[in-house]
Structure formats: C-alpha cells, structure tokens
Structure 1
Amino acid sequence: MATRSQNRVEKIRTFSIGSSNRGLNIGFVPMTDCAPLIAAKELGLFERTGLEVNLSREAGWATVRERMRHRELDASHAHASMIFELGCGLGLDSVPCLTGLVLSHNGSAISFSHELWELGVRDARSLKRVVEEFRGRRKFRFGVVLKFSTQNYLLRSWLRDGGVDPDKDVQLVVVPPPQVFPCMMKGHIDGYCAGEPWSSIGLIEGSCWCAALTDEVERMHPEKVLLVHQELARDRHDEHIALISALIEAAEYCDKPINRADLASMLAAPNYFDVSKDALLNALQGPFQRGMGEQSSALDAIVFRRNNASQPTEAKARWVLSEINRNGLTETPLDLTQDEIRSFFRMDFYEEAERILAAA
C-alpha cells in the first residue's frame, strides 16, 4: 500500500508532467540562507517532483545579477531587493522577474575587528565616540555585500541608532560575501555586515566579534527569495509551481532543530560551501558564539519556514521598498502601485504550491 508521503510525491510529479523537460539552472551564493535549495537537491525533493535541477554556485551577487540578465540562470537564490533592482532597471537594463517564495528571514551579523574592541567599541554609541576621536585622521570602513541588500539597510540603521551618519562619518564598501572576512583580516575594512556563515567563520576562529545579529536590529526581516524570470513563470508554469512546492518542503526540513546538524554537513561539502561544519552550526544550532567570550541564543538567528517565513507577502515587499527609499539608494524614490508590487511578490503562485502540498 502506498504511504501518504508516496501519494503526495506522485501527485506533485503528476502535476509537473507535460511541462518542458529542459532542466532548470538555478544559481546560489554560498550563504546559509540558500539551504532550502541544497536540501531539496540532496534529499531528492526536486527529482521526486519530476524536476531536473542544476545548482550553480556563483561567486557573488554581481555574478547572479549578470547571469540573470543574460538568461544564463533560470532562477536564483537572491536578495529580496534584487527583484526591484532588476525588475525596475535600477542602474541597468530592466529584467522582468518575480518571486513566489521567500527562502529565509534574518541570518546576518554585524561583526568588527579586534582593533575596534580595543578602542572601546561595544555598540553603535561607543563607535560614535571612536569615530569622533579619529575624525580628520581616519575614516573607518565597513563592508556590505550589495548596495541593494538588507545588510546595507540594517548596518545603516544600526549606525544611525548610535548617532553615526553612514554616508558621512564612515565609509561603506561592497565586498562579495566570501571575501568579507579575508578583507578585514588584511586591514582593508574594519568590519562588515554579512550573512552566515561568513561572520561565524571569524567568530569561531576568535578573529572578530559580533556587535549585533540583524534580527536584533529588525525583528524577522525578510532576507532571501527565489528570484525567477517572469517568462519562466509564464511559459513553464507547472515546473515553477513544482519548484516552489519542493522548496517549501525543504524549508520545513531546514527549520527543524533535529535536522540542523545534518543540514550543516550538507552545506559544508566542497561543492557547496567548503567551510567548517562548526561555522555553519554557530547560527543554525547555537549557542551563537559572538566573540570576546560572549554568546547568545541562535533560536531566530536564521528562519526558513516558521512564522510564515516562506510567504512572499505584499507587506514584505513594502518593507524592502521602504528600506530602498529610506536609504536614498535610487535617484528618485521608487513609487509602485499595489498591482505593481503584487506582480513582483506573487502570493498566488505560493498559494497554488501550498494547495498542491495540502492535497497530496
């Protein structure tokens, strides 16, 4: 007799029959928040739903952007803001795209060098005092992974809360995620805001310290999404919905504490992250080692599925838009209608995938 799980898989597989048999090329940058993609691949969830998926490791977000522009990727793990960056043509040609799934919430940390600790920095207000002390002699430099990223928005917010003007008092530079820690160790930057595991690598080694997790700056902020070309969603609808369904199941797996150790082992593999399992477990399992002998809970350090994290809601889209506008990252503020916003964040696709899973 077929099990409920087998019946569920067969219904999803049947749904995807009749769609194009060309494989899907999906990009990811080695960040912990791409975990649902890797889990879906390693657990056979793509295959079970009739999908042929190639996961393509990318060097950084600029590479993802260019490969999406040139249609070399069908979809990608991406910053939520990249939907508007590409879709609205912010600084480049417009590339119509959308998301039917949020991959993660939270997942980043603000980390600084030992030198700043020795200078007395403990939080944004004490950083303000050090900035004032060195004014005219040195401008401290901090890395963010992308102009249109939550790391940029939340580091700016954290700085402003302490009285530091992110555009005048310090210098913010864009550094690819895997390079933030090496750049700090070489003295090119004094700290950074980056997604896991790139803060934890330094924290585990005792080479930096964490001033704040981004969830402490903005509770349950949306982070990464599944970025998809609009034409793929239109022309290969069944595959797209099957893809979302597989990733919803993978996100459920990733969010269960009992699976976190195995998940870390998957991500640590040379073909994915090629980093230590301990660095991945710092945020996935905790307690989160913050450096300088301090630690905290990792309960909400990164969230994949809980608290409706997977839903691409209009409210999440509006939060992203508000941060782009609040930080003055475009020549003129982005003013989108409700219909335009909903055309980028597609709850209808997500709900269709959920219905299939519920019926299976």
Structure 2
Amino acid sequence: MTTPLQIGFIPLIDAAAVITAVEKGFTRSEGLDVKLVREVSWSNVRDKLNIGLFDAAHILAPLPIASSLGLGHIKVPMVVPLTLNLNGNAITVSPALHAAIMAEIDGDPFDPMATAKALSRVVAARRRSGGEPPTFGMTFPFSTHNYQLRFWMAAGGVDPDEDVRLVVLPPPFMVESIASGQIDGFCVGAPWNSIAVDRGVGRILHFGSDILQRAAEKVLAVRQQWAEKNPQTMSALVRAVFRAAEFAEAPDNRREVAQILARSEYIGVDASVILRTLEGRLKIAPDGTIREGDRYILFAREEASVPDPVQAAWLYAQMVRWRQTAMSPEALKAAQDTFRPDLYGAALGSTGLPQPGSKALGAFAGPRFDAGNIEAYFASLAAGQG
C-alpha cells in the first residue's frame, strides 16, 4: 500500500533532491507514490499548493512565508520541514552591460561591492545621456533572486526601485529575454545562467554565494493543515528527499544526477551543463573562462537541509526593507515559525541539531544580521551601512 502524492517543481537544478528522490526509488521505499508535475512559473506552483492540487512543492524559500502572512495573494499557512538547497543563483548580465560595468570598475571584478559601485556609475551615465535605465529580470517578487539583486545594488548606491527596472520572468524565459535585448541582466538559478553563457548572450557577473555565503534558496513546502493531518506521510517525504540530497551531494553520483535532471520531462538541457553546476565549475564567459566555487550550491553539506528560522527572519526583513509589508513582531514570529527544524528533526530522528543561526548568513556588505533585533539592523542600514 503506497500513499499517492503530487509534487510541483520548476525546471531548475535545485529541484535535484526532489527529482532524485523519485527517480532513485527513495520515495517508493518510504511508501510514497509520487507524481512530479513540472510547472513554468512560481505563481502556478504557489496557487496549486495553496488550493491542494499539490501536496508539496519545490518552491522559493520566501514564498511559504509570504503565503503564511497573506502577502501578494490569499493567506494559506505553510510549513517548511526541509531546505532543498542553500545558494545556487547567479547574476548574469549582457555582454554590453558587462563591458560598461568593467569600464567603470575600481577594484576586483569579482568583488560585489566594486561591481555594484560601477553599476551605479553606469546608471548615472545613462541618466545624464537620456538613456534607458538597465532592466533586470528576477523570478518572483517574493524570491531570493529579487532580494539578492536588491541587496547587491543598494550596497553600491543603486536604488533598485528608482535607478533600474526589475521585471518578473519565469526561469526558462530568462535566456531568450536577454538574447532579444528585452533585459540587460538577471538573477536566476541554474542552469539558465550557464545556458546564457553557452549561447554567447550573457556573462556571469556573480555567484549568489558572493552576495550571501549561506542563503536558503528553495525549500520543500507543504500546507500547515496538510502537515498536521498527515504527519507520518510528511516525515516519510522528508526522509526520502534528505536521502536524495545526500546522494546528489556525493561526487561519485553527480554524473548520474546530471543525466537524470537533463531529461526532457525535468530540465531538458545538456547533462554536461548540469554537471558543471553540480561540480561548482561554471563557465562565466563565452570565451570559456571557468570559475570554481565549492559553495555554489549546497544540498546536504554544512547542514544545508535544516530549515533555519534565522534564514526565514532575514527573508522577512527583506520584505519589510523593500516595502512588501510593514514590520510587526507578530509577523516576524509567524515568518520564523514557517521554517520548522523540529519537523526535520522528528522525521530524521536527529538530535543535536545546530542552533538556529549558528552559521552566519555571510552577507558581503552591511551590518551583521541579528534576528533578535531587526530594528537595529534597519537602523544600521538607514545609517548607510548597507
């Protein structure tokens, strides 16, 4: 007897643990009969999870928080019993914008502060000449991509709401949009940055891990009501996906995982592109320049799969900072309560889980984030520290 489940996902490499859990039989061994449903947009994933068409979903880390708070849509309380990955994004720009930034840069081109300040000078020059402001694509208003772009820009003096245009695009549409000149850059998860580089229409400017060393990117989310009614099924799903995350993390398994993800029903791109991402060896320019980053994407290493309420607090703080909601102690608590290390521990029989926030976010700029004193964080930002 197996329990049927429908799980939604977007064609991204950070869906690896969910897809691998099914393909390697980890879900079946837990008594689950999982049907994976590929979607094109995060709003589709959110809406189908909200109304119960999906039992669980591979979803943007901020979206369960927004859903639990009723931001941007109807209020549906969610819980996150497992983080699918830390990091995994990159900021890619067109060759023309890359050249403009490099012409203005003062410092290391891999330093996000140097590039952000150079972008500020590019923006100012365009304004003086009467040119259009740069346009950047991101995947959803409530997304780490949006917040990473804004954090990077603001650190260099760029107002992301006034000096540039930010537009929402589904991940698979990013490459065509930059190729057609509709956007000048984007922040998205793998493999779409690499596809843009391979096509010669983009250059990877920064890895997401350059902006924050540890950023919750995608999570496994379920409705709170569903979790309360189906605790054993949820625990079984967490165990299966965690086992798959460990499998995908192992170097000896990367080629097999890449071949699975490359299939047309999942991501539908060349396996070699996916393998480079899993190895943290990304081609960042059309001339073949390779940049390595062992923290480009983390599935299970460094307790990456533990849902950390401090990560939830940081995401909520970005919602407040960028005026998606007002600051409220009650909302902050609700946001943190969305990320549930207790459910993770119960499913895996884990003891001695790391203390929330025991591993720093590692932002490249600004004040140290303290989830217990967000007001002081905002005061430091207002004083020009980020």
Q: Normalising by the residue count of structure 2, what TM-score does the alignment of the two structures yield?
A: 0.83
CA distance in 2, matches of 1:157, 1:189: 19
> More deviation in 183-192 or 293-302?
293-302
Q: Report the Cα distance in structure 1 between the residues aligned to 2:337 and 2:131, rounded to whole angstroms.
A: 49
* Residue in structure 2 matched with residue 165 of structure 1 by the alignment: 159
Deviation >4 Å, runs of 4+: none
Mapped contact 1:109–1:195 kept (Cα < 8 A) = yes
One-letter amino acid of the structure 1 residue matched with residue 94 of structure 2 = S
Task: Give the 5 Å matches for 1:85-96.
Answer: 85-96=66-77
* Residue of structure 1 equivalent to 2:312: 317
Match among 136, 142, 146 for residue 152 of structure 1: 146
Question: Which deviates the most, 46-55 or 338-347?
Answer: 338-347
Aligned 1:244-323 pairs, distance under 5 A: 244-291=238-285, 293=287, 294-323=289-318
Cα drift, residue 295 of structure 1: 2.3
Aligned identity (percent) is 35
Q: CA deviation at 1:137?
A: 2.2
Are 2:125 and 1:133 aligned? yes
Task: Tell me whether 59-68 or 274-283 shows the greater mean CA deviation.
Answer: 274-283
Give deviations 1:75-124, integer Å, cap 9, x for gaps.
Answer: 10011111111111112211121110000000000000011133344522
- 1:206 aligned residue: 200
CA distance in 1, matches of 2:70, 2:157: 33
Matched residue count: 338
Query: Bigger CA drift: 318-327 or 250-259?
Result: 318-327
- How far, CA to CA, are the matches of 2:40 and 2:328 in structure 1? 29
Identify unmatched segments of 5+ residues in structure 2: 103-108, 110-114, 353-386
Residue identity matched to 2:292: S
1:286-340, CA deviations, whole angstroms, 9 ceiling, x for partnerless residues?
422111543221311110011111111222221221222222222x235336763
Structure 1: give runs of 5+ residues left out of the alignment: 1-16
- CA distance in 2 between counterparts of 1:71 and 1:26 reads 10
State the shift of 1:162 in Å: 2.1
Q: Relative to structure 2, which stretch is displaced further, 178-187 or 130-139?
A: 130-139
Correspondence list, 1:334-345, <5 A: 334-336=328-330, 340-345=334-339
Alignment match, 2:179 = 185
Aligned letter for 1:134?
A: R
RMSD of the alignment, in Å?
1.9
Partner Cα distance (1:63, 1:203) in 2? 28
Distance 1:30 1:254 in 2: 16
Separation (CA, whole Å) in 1 of partners of 2:312 and 2:280: 30
After the TM superposition, which of the residue ranges 82-91 and 243-252 deviates more from structure 2? 82-91
After superposing the two structures, state which structure 1 stretch, 285-294 or 93-102, moved more: 285-294
Q: Letter of the aligned partner of 2:67 in structure 1? A: L
Equivalent residue letter for 1:206: G
Residue 73 of structure 1: which of 45, 54, 67 is its match?
54
Displacement of 1:357 after TM fit? 11
Structure 1 residue 161: Cα displacement: 2.2
Corresponding residue SS for 2:136: strand
Give the corresponding residue for 1:326.
321
Aligned to 1:3: none
**Per-residue deviation at 1:279?**
2.0
For the 8 Å contact 2:178–2:201, the answer to whether it is kept is: no
